[in-house]
Structure 1
């Protein structure tokens, strides 16, 4: 066969291209109105208002204060990705090897945070980490420290709180990948004399890489644009680029410069996504599914 097929198979039915387009039209219209149009307008202002210029982008990429914010954003996003990966893989492995009530409890524990407001979870971390919060009281009560530690409004607090919020986005892809690995592979490796560590290193972990790479990419990109948690947990001292954009729009009323910051972030996200896809060859995983 040659050429593009005129019909698509979905759920046992054939849909013409016109029917497929009609089914996708509500989503496409919503995406255009709520995302593409506002983003395009903001980028247009950054490039053409008050006149065609790249001065806003030059300012964003050369002034030290904005460079520090961008580097901090990248550092926090990378730290959150690494921490969520370290926490998520063992949990996903336990979920993949569980069944019945235990699996239901584990899945509910992962999904429940998604049903809770990010704002509520962020305020919960503020209660835990504040000067007279639960963590400091436990440390003082255990004799580890004699006075309250400064836990809130630090980069570590931001990383911890963001990791808690974004953990489900790492657990679920890894769980899906691990769930698809036949148990026979593990038994076959042990029958051939492989130790548990060798089985993990040579069989289990490589087969889980599609879920690991998907989860890392998703968490990293979400962390780059996170707003509520860094603004409340980190404060002005740990400002990230999303908070900076909000400040430029709401306080400075500098829409053109805010658009330039968004443009820089968008360009970096696209660059990371393309580089990530080429590095790990996600198209190979998708094509073999």
Structure 2
């Protein structure tokens, strides 16, 4: 009897842990105070300058534009601007495809090697990101110049030296090198979670290794391919340093054209117009890619 009373009294004196503590509840009720510094930082250093530049597309004009949507008429009615816009998307798409083709085997190999080699491969990816973009671009200048190691190798193989610098090929090579980790890391995150027994099960049911790889493994890897490709494509659209160093004014991209409007002509309205057009086309492309991915998932299901 005494033991039963003691147990009941001790249970009755235990503090309740079902609800949150008053301090945590106060923080949850006033979450906006905690998030206010981050909101102010983003609004001051990102939202305000972006809105200011985009707003000048409708308020600041260069002759013969006078108002309204004249800046958009100037951009869309100029064949040179249209060529640069198409070239920008073509270079970004080519860079995305090239990066995915190179990064997929690298990420796949990371999932098959031992832990020590996986750490070394991951370290190689991260170390390459530590070096500044300028340093990596000037390294490509050394490699691709007419007297550089790459042309020395081409001449040793019996071919004539090739002009790389100032071409779209050099820009794609430099951008692929810089954006490679942004493709490899999302791919590795997805590939390491794929159960390889599914591929073995498909082979045990009569599928060849190639068909099992393409029909089982690749569909499971598509989320990583899509995430990495989307990230690389969007980043490639806004590249400026690499096209400026490795490319030329004859093969200019949108970023170079916007910079020229800012610095040499002080045409902020035209630069804002190009930014709006590029932003809308990028959002449309991303939305279309997302819809296609969802439909492919539904079809696969």
Q: Give the TM-score band, short-chain normalised.
A: 0.7 to 0.9
- 1:151 is displaced (CA, Å) by 1.0
Correspondences of 1:141-180 after superposition (within 5 Å): 141-145=156-160, 148-180=161-193
- 1:114 is displaced (CA, Å) by 1.2
Aligned to 1:129: 144
- Residues in 1 aligned to 2:25 and 2:134: alpha-carbon distance in whole angstroms: 44
| 1:266 pairs with 2:279 | yes
Aligned to 1:35: 46
Unaligned runs of 5+ in 2: 1-19
What's the TM-score once normalised by structure 1's chain length? 0.88
Query: CA, structure 1 residues 208+19, in 2 after alignment: closer, same or farther (shift >3 Å)?
Result: farther
Count of residues paired in the alignment: 272
- Residues in 1 aligned to 2:29 and 2:288: alpha-carbon distance in whole angstroms: 34
What is the SS of the residue equivalent to 2:206?
A: coil
Query: CA, structure 1 residues 128+28, in 2 after alignment: closer, same or farther (shift >3 Å)?
Result: same
Aligned to 2:257: 244
CA RMSD of aligned residues (A): 2.2
Task: Verify the 8 A CA contact 2:60 2:268 in the aligned structure 1.
Answer: no
- Residues in 1 aligned to 2:214 and 2:54: alpha-carbon distance in whole angstroms: 46
- 1:189 is displaced (CA, Å) by 2.0
| 1:184 pairs with 2:184 | no
- 1:16 is displaced (CA, Å) by 6.3
- Residues in 2 aligned to 1:32 and 1:184: alpha-carbon distance in whole angstroms: 49
What is the SS of the residue equivalent to 1:46?
A: coil
- Residues in 1 aligned to 2:176 and 2:182: alpha-carbon distance in whole angstroms: 10
Larger radius of gyration: 2
Query: CA, structure 1 residues 19+126, in 2 after alignment: closer, same or farther (shift >3 Å)?
Result: farther
- Residues in 1 aligned to 2:215 and 2:197: alpha-carbon distance in whole angstroms: 14
- Residues in 1 aligned to 2:169 and 2:120: alpha-carbon distance in whole angstroms: 29
- 1:52 is displaced (CA, Å) by 4.3
Aligned to 1:49: 60
Query: CA, structure 1 residues 252+103, in 2 after alignment: closer, same or farther (shift >3 Å)?
Result: same
Query: CA, structure 1 residues 189+135, in 2 after alignment: closer, same or farther (shift >3 Å)?
Result: same
